[in-house]
Amino acid sequence: MMKKRNGLALSLFLAAGTLLAGCGGADKNEGAGGEGGGEAKEDNFSVAMVTDIGGVDDKSFNQSAWEGLQAYGEENGLEKGTDGFDYLQSKSDADYATNLNTLARKNFDLIYGIGYLLQPAVDEIAQQQKDTHFAIVDSVVEQPNVASITFKEHQGSFLVGVVAGLTTKTNKIGFVGGVEGDLIKKFEVGFIEGVKAVNPDATVEVQYAGSFGDAAKGKQIASSMYGLGADIIYHAAGGTGNGVFSEAIDLKVEDPNRELWVIGVDKDQHEEGNGTTKDGEEFNITLTSMVKRVDVAVKDLAEKAKAGEFPGGQVIEYGIEEEAIGIAPSDEHLSDELKAKVEEYEQKIVNGEIEVPTK
């Protein structure tokens, strides 16, 4: 199963799954509230999203979601803007409800709140704008005009924990989280379980930055962890994680012989680990990434809603079995033996031999 992930299998899964059956999205003129059926919309089905404070170019979660909307737009001949696909970027928590309401007033057919931090705002605005379809990513909103998208991040985090546990030379590993809460705890716990499964002698230091958009804080935490001997850091911190990459690259430039790594999150962050020594030699410090196909889920839900199959009031969960969670395809730093070990644990999770905890 250690192959390049793509959206095909996930799309087929969703198309065939009974989870989406029997629930449709109504045309705006008919009202979107409730789980009742609706007909496919023949004209442009417009979609938009509201980012959290990490921004649309966070090279992680928000960016992956935006890529999903762009792919949807491209396949349906839409352009960026009110009649196609668009986004609003949040600079603070106070922007969430305002941005969602702005998009609803612009009559977008489906509006995504990207990230669990938007849960209260989506809940609030969905009740006010009952004729609009909403979706929340990484949380649950119990409203008939809201679809909730969740992932089994603990499974993928377990797998990169296996990679870290078998790669570390110092037996000191770091985890940098964004905002502490139930969601990021799934990343932390799954990662530690994966490390311990293959290397019980290793220790994992955990720190939270308190933000998904503070690269400077991420760099500061990484500096401390690497300074105390950690040789691998896994971040689940959105834009804050950019600072982890920055610190690792800076340290590698200063000492090209030093072996240190970053494990990316949400999308393949291989390119974020590219650097060049003072002598002009190129290097890469991204060991691997825990891939969470937010882009595929966002695109697929848009297609379903356009076809009149909006799963209002339902929770859709994606994991390894649906090929929505796993290891990044960039594996140049992983030996065949290590990849085989990851595949072994991946299969154990799918078979139910290992149940990865979430807290």
This prediction has a pTM of 0.78
pLDDT given for residue 13 in this prediction = 38
pLDDT given for residue 7 in this prediction = 41
Nearest 5°: the CA angle 126, 132, 54 is 65
For residue 28, give its domain range. 7-151+293-318
Same domain, 91 and 240: no
pLDDT given for residue 40 in this prediction = 58
Same domain, 206 and 341: yes
Residue 1 lies inside a defined structural domain of this protein: no
Same domain, 185 and 283: yes
Same domain, 44 and 137: yes
Q: What does pLDDT average to in each consecutive run of 10 residues of the chain (359 residues)?
A: 41 38 36 44 85 87 93 96 96 96 98 96 98 96 97 97 98 97 96 98 98 95 98 95 97 97 95 96 97 92 96 94 90 96 97 95
Same domain, 206 and 300: no
Q: For residue 94, give both structure tokens.
A: 């106070």
pLDDT given for residue 60 in this prediction = 80
pLDDT given for residue 15 in this prediction = 39
Residue 262: which H helix or E strand, with range? strand 261-266
Tokens 């379903």 found at: 304
Sheet of 261-266, strand order: 203-208, 172-177, 232-236, 261-266, 286-292, 325-327
Of 343, 267, 283, 282, the C-alpha closest to 57 is: 267
Same domain, 157 and 83: no
Same domain, 338 and 190: yes
Of 225, 192, 181, the C-alpha closest to 207 is: 225
Residue 224 lies inside a defined structural domain of this protein: yes
Task: Please give the C-alpha separations between residue 332 and each of 222, 287, 349, in angstroms, as whole numbers.
Answer: 23, 8, 24
CA 71 to centroid of chain Cα atoms: 16
User: What is the C-alpha end-to-end distance of the chain, expressed in Å?
Assistant: 26
Residue 323 lies inside a defined structural domain of this protein: no
Residue 74 lies inside a defined structural domain of this protein: yes
Of 315, 316, 307, the C-alpha closest to 24 is: 307
Residue 86 lies inside a defined structural domain of this protein: yes
Distance CA 70, CA 49 (A): 11
Same domain, 185 and 60: no
Same domain, 143 and 216: no
Tokens 């909103």 found at: 141
- Give the total number of structural domains in the chain: 2
Distance CA 241, CA 219 (A): 8
Same domain, 339 and 314: no
Of 231, 190, 189, 238, the C-alpha closest to 210 is: 238
Residue 20 lies inside a defined structural domain of this protein: yes
Same domain, 285 and 161: yes
Q: In degrees to the nearest 10, what's the CA dihedral of 346, 350, 355, 359?
A: 70
pLDDT given for residue 14 in this prediction = 39
Tokens 């803007």 found at: 81
Residue 2 lies inside a defined structural domain of this protein: no
Same domain, 165 and 313: no
CATH number at residue 232: 3.40.50.2300
pLDDT given for residue 323 in this prediction = 82
Residue 356 lies inside a defined structural domain of this protein: no
